[in-house]
Amino acid sequence: MRDFISRDHFLSLLHRERAAWDGLISGLDPAQMSQPGVCNEWSVKDTIAHITFFEKEIIGMLKARALAGSDLWDLPADERNAVIFQQNRHLSMEKILADSAQTYHDLHVQLESLPSEAMTDPKYFPGMPADWQPWKIIAENTFEHYTHHAADIRSWLRKRGPGKHE
């Protein structure tokens, strides 16, 4: 990835990747979205909740204008993901989808209010190491997350075979 990106270009990438993510999700059979196997025991529903957690963390960072977040960041990635999975497991698909849509909206609002120079200036976010690029942290936890988990969902669908997801 490059070292510079404007806020407007970032928003364009985010919008494009979110549209692809939403298109993938909307094309799935709702009855099967709670079935495990996408990422080990995770279902599509669990994967959406997982991504939403990370987007909420970015919203918190953007609102606070500081690199700060949940105590879950103190855990190793696998343990953090296990907690996120358990926290959301009981939620309905409707709740997960509504939360995801609202979170994306809130993320977009926060990003639009961010000065473009903050995308590349770590000083804008107290606590962020000087050699980090804020836009890269935001990308990893938003649109790069979509593409990563979209690949997991597509792989899961291929393993299920033709007609299993229509």
What share of the chain in percent tops pLDDT 90?
76
pLDDT in tens, 5-15: 889 999 999 99
Looking at residue 74, its pLDDT comes to 85
Is the pLDDT assigned to residue 83 strictly greater than 50? yes
Lowest average pLDDT, out of 33-37, 56-60, 158-162, goes to 158-162
The residue type found at 108 is: H
User: Does residue 144 or residue 2 have the better pLDDT?
Assistant: 144
Contact, 63 vs 114, CB < 8 A? no
What share of the chain in percent tops pLDDT 70?
95
- Domains located in the chain, CATH noted: 7-157 (1.20.120.450)
The residue type found at 12 is: S
Longest dimension (CA), the chain: 51
Is the pLDDT assigned to residue 166 strictly greater than 50? no
What is the SS3 assignment for the chain? CCCCCCHHHHHHHHHHHHHHHHHHHHCCCHHHCCCCCCECCECHHHHHHHHHHHHHHHHHHHHHCCCCCCHHHHCCHHHHHHHHHHHHCCCCHHHHHHHHHHHHHHHHHHHHCCCHHHHCCHHHCCCCCCCCCHHHHHHHCCHHHHHHHHHHHHHHHHHHCCCCCC
Is the pLDDT assigned to residue 164 strictly greater than 60? no
Q: Band of the pLDDT at 66, cuts 50, 70, 90?
A: confident
Contact, 14 vs 108, CB < 8 A? yes
Average pLDDT over residues 73-85: 90
Average pLDDT over residues 121-150: 93
* Residue 114: partners with Cβ closer than 8 Å, 6 or more residues away: 7, 62
Is the pLDDT assigned to residue 1 strictly greater than 70? no
